[in-house]
Amino acid sequence: MTTPAPADLERGSGASWMELWDRAPCGLVVLNEDGTIVAANSTLTDMLDIAGADLPGRSVEAMLTIPARIFYQTHFFPLVKLHGHAEEIFLTLRTRSGSGVPVLANAVWRDRDGGGQIHCAFMRIREREKYEEELLRTKKAAELASASKSRFLSMMSHDLRTPLGAISGYADLLALGVRGEVTEEQQADLARIKRASKSLLGMLDDLLTVAREQSAQLPMRLEVLSVRTELIEAESIVTPRFIEAGVGYRRDESAPDLTVRADRDRLQRILLNLLTNAVKFTPRGGRVSVGCSAVADRVLIHVTDTGRGIPAEMLGRIFQPFVQVDADDATNQKGMGLGLAIGRELARAMGGDLAVESAVGRGSIFTISLPAAAAP
Amino acid sequence: MISTEQKVLRRNNVKVFGRGTQPMVFAHGFGCDQHMWRFITPAFENAYRIVLFDYVGSGGSDLGAYDAGRYGSLNGYADDLLEVCHALDLRDTILVAHSVSAMVAVLAARREPERFARLVLIGPSPRYINDVPDYVGGFERTDIDELLATMERNYIGWAKYLAPQIMKNSERPELAEELTESFCSTDPEIASRFARATFLADNRADLRDVSVPSLILQCSEDLIAPNAVGEYVHRNMPRSTLRLMKATGHCPHMSHPDETIRLIEDYLHDDAGAR
């Protein structure tokens, strides 16, 4: 037994206590407030390849690598001194030959006459360290990839808008007869060009929104909004599509008008996304209804359709960008699968959420939840 | 309407107390916050007006005010310090600064010497990285890179690293509080940037421009700011007094508060030595 054991262990007395201290399956060290080593167990001195008698009296820094010394002085010691304990601190111990031993350290502060002591346990990490490093590395790579993807999306959608503007502008000019007389058939074609470029523009806007939401957060203007007013606003835009598609629309008028705290543009975007989705995926003769309710401090807006519904295995994925329920349907002309992804991001950014319930053949209910607000 | 002054006081989590009139400002070091002064301030409460603050990015400061550009160098931290002095209209100030804050104090005193009566620099170092053959800071560049890696590893377990949104959630400030309580620092990106600004800085040329009298408290066996560095600061800073402490380590105000208090008191009472 070369290392003196701390007094409180000796009090327990007996060889078994001493053995527990000395051969515990972790390195143990007792430090004075100024970092002087009072005692270290054999597990620790073995780990460091140092003779047991060599440690007491020296500074804790002798058993740390240089960066670990800085971390000890700037983080570890202040933390233990001010909060009384520190857990799961990653440090690198230094062996006699100078190589590093990665450990996790737990420490507690103990008041002693004329100062205090730090009792510290070191758990060697070998395999785990590799995983952690890998995890951190992959996470960084993923963040970088995601950021560059967002930048790419934003650049691309921006660049595509310019030629698109030209296409639609010149179609307008032709339709106005500026370049000469236009036949009825040509007018019909020009109208198709206009419609197609408009729909393309809508998709680009969606792309741009996703890219922006993911890269820099757009400034948010939260205000108190009447749900009814916002629904009426959204309806005015989508009603023609409902008529065209032969799908019925009804807003539940019986509920009292509720108010939410939200950003008007974002809320409009979510509502429009949900309503256009509903009309897209509901067959002629179907119905879409919108209702609203208050639950605790939340307001829920439900958009219910009688469409074909979403298979259970798709439910978890439909909020991911570029995922479509019928993606393998080659005739699918219904967009890029960004609407719901955008909708959920926007709702969450406002402290709310967007969720779905659905059953194949019975239709879907999309629910926006938002923080309730007292009426203005 | 909140005034600019109030904004600064809130942003830097400024606390003012004490029964004296002459201001005594305490500036914390890298890795910690104003709490580190709690073993020292009681000794000065009766005679001085104590001002504590956190740099933006540390402790209870407003993380929303963090600007990576501004805090990429120590000058941004000096801006914080001076803005706190402006907000409270401090004059004739005694500035006590630990570790990296000592250089922040040098920058601030250089820019607005009229605000400060005395500087007390605990463990100052104008440059941590060796500059052979003439200057020994104690560290190599690779040591600092490894320190950054160690910091990164220690932040990996933080919920806020894995879910940075938590920290931006102003509706639940108690979350942020819990996390800063659990560690003596803040957001990992901010901490890493502060570490770079601290350990890669070279403020040797600024020392000679400090006209405010100063006390350098040099610990024995301080591996972060070794004796030679304290002597360098003393040699190059006009009107400086160097005191070698019995205290070891890098945080004497926490590990040896009595000696630290006594040396500061001696210095403040010894007018002849400083003026």
Q: What is the pLDDT of residues A295-340, one digit of tens each?
A: 888 999 999 999 888 888 888 788 877 666 655 444 444 556 677 8
User: What pLDDT was estimated at residue B241?
Assistant: 97
CB contact residues (below 8 A), chain B span 211-240, against chain A: 221, 223-224
Residues 6+ away with beta carbon under 8 Å from B32: A74, A75, A78, A82, B58, B59, B184, B185
Tell me the residue ranges of DSSP E strands in A113-203: 115-124
Q: Report CA torsion sign: A262, A263, A269, A272.
A: positive
- B34 interfacial to chain A (CB closer than 8 Å): no
CB B44 within 8 A of CB B52: no
Chain A residues with CB under 8 Å of B139 CB are 66, 70
Which residue, A312, A247, A252, is CA-closest to A282? A247
Interface A-B: count of C-beta contacts within 8 A: 96
User: What pLDDT was estimated at residue A266?
Assistant: 84
Q: Are strands B49-52 and B93-98 parallel, antiparallel or unpaired?
A: unpaired
CA distance B258 to A213: 54
Q: What is the DSSP letter of B33?
A: -
Q: What is the DSSP letter of A87?
A: E
User: What pLDDT was estimated at residue A7?
Assistant: 58
Return the structure tokens found at A314: 């798709």
Per DSSP, chain B holds a count of helices (H) and strands (E) of 12, 7
By the 10 Å C-beta count (0-12 exposed, 13-18 middle, 19+ buried), B125 is classed as buried
User: What pLDDT was estimated at residue B165?
Assistant: 39
CA distance A200 to A16: 78
H helices of chain B, in order, are 4-11, 74-87, 100-111, 141-155, 159-162, 165-168, 173-182, 188-199, 227-236, 252-255, 257-269, 271-274
B92 CB-side CA count, 13 A? 7
Q: Which of A60, A69, A74 to mutate to test the interface with B (most CBs of B within 10 A)?
A: A74
| A36: number of Cβ within 10 Å | 16
Which residue, A249, A205, A245, A244, is CA-closest to A231? A249
By residue count, chain B amounts to 275
User: What pLDDT was estimated at residue B192?
Assistant: 85
- B146 interfacial to chain A (CB closer than 8 Å): yes
Which residue, A79, A81, A64, A68, is CA-closest to A27? A64
Q: Which residues of chain A have pLDDT under 50?
A: 1-4, 328-333
Chain B residues with CB under 8 Å of A35 CB are 248-249, 255
Which residue, B125, B121, B138, B111, is CA-closest to B210? B111
- A75 interfacial to chain B (CB closer than 8 Å): yes
User: What pLDDT was estimated at residue B182?
Assistant: 42
User: What pLDDT was estimated at residue A103?
Assistant: 94
Which residue, B121, B132, B137, is CA-closest to B210? B121
The nearest CA of chain B is from the CA of A77 a distance in Å of 9
Chain B residues with CB under 8 Å of A69 CB are 223-224
Instruction: Find where tokens 């000058």 sit.
Output: B75
| B133: number of Cβ within 10 Å | 6
Judged by CB atoms closer than 8 Å, whether chains meet at A71 and B151 is answered as yes
Q: Report CA torsion sign: B55, B58, B64, B67.
A: positive
Chain A residues with CB under 8 Å of B150 CB are 67-68, 71, 90-92
Largest separation between any pair of C-alpha atoms in chain A: 110
Q: Report CA torsion sign: A64, A66, A68, A69.
A: positive
Return the structure tokens found at B85: 């002095």
Identify whether B99 is a catalytic site residue. Answer: yes
Chain A residues with CB under 8 Å of B256 CB are 33-34
CA distance B207 to B205: 6
Judged by CB atoms closer than 8 Å, whether chains meet at A81 and B254 is answered as yes
User: What Rg value do the Cα atoms of chain B yield, rounded?
Assistant: 18
CA distance B3 to B62: 16
Q: Which residues of chain B have pLDDT under 70?
A: 1, 155-186, 271-275
Model-wide pTM > 0.80: no
Return the residue of A nearest to B183 by Cα: A79
User: What pLDDT was estimated at residue B167?
Assistant: 40
User: By three-state DSSP, how is residue B117 classified?
Assistant: strand
User: What pLDDT was estimated at residue A217?
Assistant: 56
